[in-house]
């Protein structure tokens, strides 16, 4: 079920009035929501779900997800990602993350936020599902 059917967008300002970092702020929550919703379906113990969720929401995982999705993005979506990636946050990247990796993750989160705010829930759902499925397959091969 597309997220916009589950959580209809609030009355947002025009998306052009939102900064890439504001879109990423919302996109971060959407990403976490999708990950946890997907994990709950496995009915694993909460501790195990939490450990898996941490792997999926890390900036390294998000950057890898973006790399797999980039060929599928429309020019407009790629522009949103670029603006998110190039946005200058007033806070530093986490100590464990490279700045370039953190920037890619911010670009992906900006895309999630933009898709949601513009009412493109089906596209958000399709891209999010593809991104998470790709990471699950990649980690299954590693383990």
> In 3-state terms, what secondary structure has residue 93?
coil
For tokens 């958000």, the residue is 124
| Dist. CA 73–CA 111, nearest whole Å | 10
Q: Which of 14, 28, 79, 125 is catalytic?
A: 28
4 is catalytic: no
CA distance 15 to 111: 12
Q: What are phi and psi of 89, to 5 degrees?
A: -75, 150
CB 34 within 8 A of CB 111: no
Query: Contact, 57 vs 32, CB < 8 A?
Result: yes
- Which region, left, alpha or beta, applies to residue 72 given φ > 0 means left and ψ of -120 to 50 means alpha? alpha
Residues carrying an active site annotation: 28
């Amino acid at each position: 079920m597309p997220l916009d059917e589950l959580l209809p967008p609030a009355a947002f300002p025009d998306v052009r009035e939102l900064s890439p970092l504001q879109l990423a702020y919302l996109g971060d929550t959407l990403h976490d929501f999708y990950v946890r919703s997907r994990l709950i379906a496995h009915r694993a113990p909460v501790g195990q779900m939490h450990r898996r969720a941490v792997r999926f929401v890390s900036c390294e995982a998000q950057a890898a997800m973006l790399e797999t999705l980039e060929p599928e993005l429309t020019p407009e979506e790629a522009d949103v990602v670029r603006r998110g990636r190039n946005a200058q946050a007033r806070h530093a990247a986490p100590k464990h993350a490279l700045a370039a990796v953190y920037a890619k993750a911010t670009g992906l989160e900006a895309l999630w936020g933009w898709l949601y705010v513009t009412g493109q829930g089906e596209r958000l759902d399709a891209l999010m599902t593809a991104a998470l499925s790709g990471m699950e397959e990649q980690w299954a091969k590693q383990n």
